[in-house]
Structure 1
Amino acid sequence: LLMHFLLHEQGHSVVLSDADSTFHAIKALSQSDGRWRYDTNSAESSTFAAGIALEALAGVVSLSDAEVDPSMIGVVKNDIVKLFGTIKSYDDGTFYFDEKYVDGSEYKGPITTSASVVRGVTSFANVVSGKLNIPGEKILGLAKFFLGIGLPGSAKDCFNQIESLSLLENNRIFVPLILSLPSKVLSLTSKDQLKVEVTTVFGSAAPPLRVNLVQVLGSDSKIITTDSKELQFDLDNNVHYLDITPLKIDVGKYSLVFEITLQDSEHETVYTTGGRNTESVVVTGLIKVDKAEIGISENDAGSAESVEKLDLLKDTKVSLSANHLQKLRLSFQLSTPLGRTFKPHQVFLKLKHESKVEHLFVVPGSARQFKIVLDSSGSPLEYPSMLETV
């Protein structure tokens, strides 16, 4: 059957006699969950075998000299719906098929099994009339699976990955559109723009569409904003963009929820965007050191007798004198580009003596202020300071 199909694909005139009986013989191996048995002696059903069977049925339909029984075509379409009911998924919207051990045969794995189903389903969809009733988000999820596995560890898996993406790029079910961010690190200081690309799996341009940012979530899943904002489209660079300043988001990690809308309603039966898409970004910015003061006190808790203000971002010199019973106290605050209090994981203070000897201290702090109290050496020494945050 495969040889006949290949000859037919190459333009040779090949006809399969009694296609209905061949179709029925293959269909007889199908199971109630949409999977297939390898042969009449197999007790277990297989997802991998389902892909092979669907590809074989597509060959039968293609080589038939007469129309295959439409009712049987409808039954197989329903089997495909059941097969996609067994698909597995991750929280990020990735979908894949996995295989269980069948009759002691070699375990196929998600890549091989998913590739078999994609090959079979797309082949069958190409030779029958009407569309298959498969949710678009599952087709998109399969595309995300093959895009997300990186470079496979074997030539076979690499072939399955590339072939599956090629079949998903051009198929009669749904063509998946992939949303991606050219950069997932945005700087408030540099006033970076949020940029979004929407393409097919192989990077071809998408049809006319709109991209809206519909929700921003903090690292703790707390809702930052639900005000929908439409991204502008740069036709020359094929990228959608949005200024992040009006979003009022500060330094930190965020989850951005996007919604894609096709402008032409006719494209909704051709392409799938998978509904909402979530991407993670990191927002950075220059942290400002505010209200820095240095002074001498009699003890750890006492108020400083003499206080000098410091600008730690500049080369500021301050001269202080203390005896061996007194303490050197340094305090400051950290703030984000939006003026909010910033508390890093750790703050280090480096003091460098005029003799080139360096001392490194961990600065304790609260949500509002960082403060460190040090024993004085008793002599007027010069300590240029350097503040580091982690």
Structure 2
Amino acid sequence: MSASPVLLLRHQRPFVAFWFARVFTASGFQMLTVAIGWHLYQLTGNVLDLGLVGLVEFAPRVLFMLHTGHVADRYDRRRVAALCQTLQGLIALGLAVGSATDNVSRELIFLLAFLLGATRSFEMPATQALLPNLVPAALFPRAVAASASATQSATIVAPAIGGFLYAFGSLWVYGPTVALYAIACLLTLSLKVRPQVMQAGRASLDSLLAGVRFIRSRPDVLGAISLDLFAVLLGGATALLPVFAKDILFTGPMGLGLLRSAPAVGALLMSLWLARFPFERKVGRTMFTAVGVFGVATIAFGLSTSFWFSLAVLVVLGAADMISMVIRSAFVQLQTPDEMRGRVSAVNGLFIGASNQLGEFESGLTAHWFGTVPAVVLGGAGTLLVTGLWIKLFPTLARRDRLHQPPVA
């Protein structure tokens, strides 16, 4: 079969519905993120609140981490993901009603951000563990890249649309988001997948912790997941984009939407390339190099005062992040047996959430302490430091040549 993502979609029919479901649910989330960030900054004008939103969204990942993976391994993953998409649509509906009645407050945004983080905590492991049941193992790395292209396509278009619509009022963003989640839910329920290996027995602390023990017993898996955690935790600057758009680059909500979309442009182009030409050799060195480029691009963005140069740097940043993500995701899923993929994905989701939502809090806090530009520059330097340290701590991962390995029983 051709490696082209178009042919992958054509010949793997269940993947078509999955791909479009990812487009719609990612579009809904991205539009919500842009609207919530701008809405909150308009209400309070406090940069620390932008970081607190990330912390509030991240908290459910910690509170429910052990349970989210267990749910994904014990119940139908399609139904779990569809239910989460429905709940996210209801959150968008709540914001739409609040905007229509002019009753959106700082406290309401934080409450709904917590609920949004909770639903995504359950959706992520269910969705990640579902993908290996849609395509053969030989095509899985390409499927990861093609799936990522769906998410990145939405991330390119949706923030720009969200920023454009917000110029007419927040209700114009929250309303269409409800429809996007409804479509994603219907597509997810329509998926036809291979039988899922269900976890046997009742829930227990031992079964809930099985994903943690599995990752600890595989140093390369632990190194790959933790590298993303600390690199993006320090180098992520997305929470501060409203500040850059308004106070440094002097653009409005439409400019903010373009800034949010720029990393996804690079990520989409790279995901299409990787779906056609997946990495087969020197995957460890490639992953570490990509994380290093991510750190350099972060520093360049922090120092930029040109809107167009900032967009270009964010494109490079997104492309580098996509290389690391595809290698890491395919590697972790292929090394995990099906009956444990939910729990391992839950732990992986915690690390991803920590790098994103907790990273937003870290960005907001350091910007509050040191200023916006120094916070971003220091974060990029921290990413480079982590990259070098992880090469020393996980030498077998850095020297890893091939991605494909038989799953460990």
More helix per residue: 1 or 2?
Answer: 2
- TM bracket, shorter-chain basis: under 0.3
Higher RCO (Cα < 8 Å, 6 or more apart): 2
- Larger-Rg structure: 1
- By percentage of residues, which structure has more strand? 1
TM superposition score normalised by structure 2:
0.21
